Amino acid sequence: MPKTDKHLLIVESPAKIKTLSKFLGKDYKILSTFGHIKDLPPKKLGVEFNEKTGKIKLDYTPLKDKAKTIKEIVSAAKQTGDVFLASDPDREGEIISWHVKQEVEKVVDKSKIYRITFNEITKPAVTKAIENKGKVDVLKVNAQQARRVLDRWVGYEVSPILWRKLQKGLSAGRVQSVALLVICNREEEILNFKPEEYWSIHGTFNKNKASLIAELVKINNKAFKLTNKEQSEKTVADLKKQNYSVTDIQVKKRIKKPVAPFMTSSLQQASFNQLHFSVKKTMDIAQKLYEGLPLSESHPEALITYMRTDSLRLSETALNDGRGFIKENFGNKYLSKTANVYEKSKSQDAHEAIRPINVNVTPEIANRYLPKDAAKLYGLIWKRFVASQMTPAEYQQRQVNIEGGKYLFRITGSTLIFDGFLKVYLVEDEDDKKTVIIPKEITKSTILNLKVVDPKQHFTQPPPRYTEGSLVKELEKQDVGRPSTYQTILSTIQKRDYTTVDKKKFMPTELGMTVNKMLTANLSDIINVKFTAKMEEDLDKIASGDVKRDDVLVKFYKKFKKDLKTFAGAETGREPVLTKLKCPKCGKPLAIRFGKAGRFLGCTEFPICEFTANFKEKEDGSLEILKPEKPMVSDIKCPNCGKKLIQKMGRFGPFLACPGYPECKYIHQEKLKTKCPECGGEIVKRKSARGTFWGCSNYPKCKFAIFGEVIEKPCPKCKTPYLLITKDKDGKVTYKCNNKECNYSEEVKESAES
C-alpha cells in the first residue's frame, strides 16, 4: 500500500481529536487508543519472577475489544511517513505510547516513531512538542510497570486468601488497603474517644453606653482549664468581685498571602468543599475541560492544562499572560511586584499546575457557553490561577486586654482594609470573620464595669470522619497514592462495601473493619502508611533512573512472599466478628458471620441456638437487628400440598417455593410450553452467576439451553416454536430466530413485547 505524505498522531482520548484537528489541519491523521491497549492478562498473574536471576518478566496481552483499535492504528501507520505518539504526559500515558510503539514498529521504521508530550492542547504547545520530538521514556515506563506489578502481586496473591477466610468478591490493594486503614484508624479514634468537660467564660464590659465582650484567657498569667460546674461557679463568683481596666490595646497590620494555583489534590479538595463535587465528578469535568469544549464557535476549545499533576509550577507564558490580565483589569495595586513562585516538596514536576489556557476566557464567558457544572469548575480554576499572581490581602488586627486582679480577658479580631487577591478568590478563616470595633470612649487604662458574666459548658469533640476532600488531603499528607490514583482509591473502597458514605463522610462497614484487621495483623509490613509512602518514593526514583525497577520489586517480593505464606497458613475458617448485641432467644452474644448471600448475625451458641437475622449499621456505627419481612404470597398453589407459594431470596435472587419446607420441598420453576428439541423434556427457567437462561429439566443428561429472554411465537420462516428477544442500548426491541441456519429477525415496538 503506497504511503501518503500525512503524519499519524495517536492520542489517548477520542475527545481530543476535534480540538487537535482544528489547528493541525489535513496534513495529520489523528487516531485514538481509547485509553490502554494492552495490560497484564485478566485471568492470570502475568508476572514471572525468576528467583535465581532476579529478573522479572511481564506478559502483556491486548485488552478486550482493542484488537480492532490496534489493527486500525497499524494499518494507518503503514500509509504514513512518520508516527507521533501523543498519549497523556504521565506514566500511564508513557506506557500506552510504549505499547503502541511495539505494534507500530512492526510496519514502520523505528527511527520514524516519535514520542511527543504537551501540557495543553493549543497550537503553540503542540507545534513546539512536534518540533522537540523525542523517544518513549523507558524509565517512566519502568516506574509504571513497577506500580502495576506491585498492585498485581498484592491483589492477586492476597485477595484469594480473603475469599477463603471471609467471602468471595473481596479484594486487597497495595494503596486501597492503606486508604481503608486510614479510615478505620479514624473510626477507632472516634469509638475510643472519651469526651472531656470544660467551661468557657465570657464577660460583657461597659463604659457608659460603650461595651465590649471578651473571653477569659488567663488566670494568674497562665492558661487554665475549668473542668466542671463547681469550678466554673467559684470562678464566676470571684470575677464579680474584681475591678477591671483596659491594660493594652494593640492595632497591627496583618497580611494574607495569595494561594498557589491548583494541582490535582488541591483541586479535588476545593471542588468538594466549595462546589460540593465528588472527586470523580471533578476529574470527569476537568478531563472534558482539558480535551476541549465549544465556546462561541462550533469547534471545541481546550480550556485548561493537564489535570493530573502534583506540580505548582507555572510557565513563563502563563505568568506573563496572567499578570498582564491583572494589570489591565484590576490595576497595578492588585499585581504582585514580582511573579509569585510556588513550590511543593517531592513534586514530580512533569508538567505545570492546573490553569486556564487562555486567561481572557473569563468565568463570565464560561457561564455563557459551558454546561453549568463545567462552568463552575472552570471558574474555580481560573480564579485560583489569577489570584496566585495578585497582591496579599491586608487586615487591621486589633487586640484588647482587660485585666482585673488575677484575671485576663481578651478580645481579638480583624478588619479587612485591602482585599488584594481576595477580590478574585475568597479565602476565609475564623479570625477573618471576627471584627472588633473599639468604641472611642474605650482607650488604654479605661476603667470598665463587668456587666454580665456568661459561663458555658462544653465537651471535647472526637476527630471528624473523613470526607472525600479531607481524605485526599490526608493521603497526600501521608504520601499515599498519586494524583492519578485518588479517584480510583475512593471508588474501590466503596464498591467493595468496605466503606459507606453517610452525610458525605466515610464510615467503615463491619466488613471493612474485619478486612482491615485481618490485613494489618498478617501483612503489617505492607499495609501501613510509611511503607506505602516509601514505595511511592521508590517509584519516583525508578522514573528518574536512581534505582532499577527489578531491584525494587525483588526487595518487596522476598518479604511479601514470607508474610503471605504465614497469612495463607493461618486459620482459614470464615472468622465471625463478635458484636455487643445479645441473642433475643438465649441471651448469648451475637456475631457477624459470612454466608453465600452476604453478612448476617448469628448466635455464638450455634448449633445449640440457631438464631440468625439480617442487620443494618446505624450512623453512630452500632448495629440494629432487622425484623424479618413477611414473605410475599403468590396466587400459585403448590402442586404437592396445595399451599400458596411464597417468595424467598436465594443466591441468584428471588424465587417461589412452598411455605411447608422442610416437610414439602417444592420449588416453582417457570417453564415453556415448548418441549426440549433434543430429548422431549421440559424447558425450565434457570439462574446462575451469569444471569438467567432456559435449560432442559433433564440436565445434566441433556445440556440443551437457550440464553436470553424468549417469546413463544413461532418463527414465520423456519417454524422454530419460539423467538429470542433482544434489546439494544437505545431501547430498540428485536425478535430473532434461535435457529443458526435461519436469519429471521423483526423489529418491534416495545408495547409489542408486553
Distance of CA 552 to the CA centre of its chain: 27
Phi, psi for residue 232 in degrees, rounded to 5? -65, -45
CB proximity list for 254: less than 8 A, separation 6 or greater? 394, 395, 396, 397, 414
* Per-residue CA distances from 382 to 7, 366, 510 (Å): 34, 10, 43
> How far apart, in whole angstroms, are the C-alpha atoms of residue 87 and residue 93?
5
DSSP string for residues in 455-513 = EEEEE--PPPPP-HHHHHHHHHHTT-S-TTTHHHHHHHHHHTTSEEEETTEEEE-HHHH
> How far apart, in whole angstroms, are the C-alpha atoms of residue 219 and residue 403?
10
Cβ atoms of 582 and 570 closer than 8 Å: no
Strand, coil or helix: 266: helix
- Placement of cell 489523528 in the chain: 30
Active-site residues: which are they? 306
Cβ atoms of 420 and 390 closer than 8 Å: yes
Cβ atoms of 358 and 292 closer than 8 Å: no
291 closest CA partner among 30, 650, 648, 55: 30
For 67, other C-beta atoms within 10 Å of its C-beta total: 11
Residue 340, amino acid: N
Which sign, positive or negative, has the C-alpha torsion 362, 365, 370, 371? positive
Residue 327 DSSP code: H
Cβ atoms of 674 and 722 closer than 8 Å: yes
Beta bridge partners of 501: 506
- Placement of cell 509550577 in the chain: 313
Q: Is 541 exposed, middle or buried (0-12, 13-18, 19+ CB in 10 A)?
A: middle
Q: Is 429 exposed, middle or buried (0-12, 13-18, 19+ CB in 10 A)?
A: exposed
Cβ atoms of 585 and 609 closer than 8 Å: yes
Q: E strands of 544-625, at which residues?
A: 577-582, 589-595, 598-603, 612-613, 615-617, 623-625
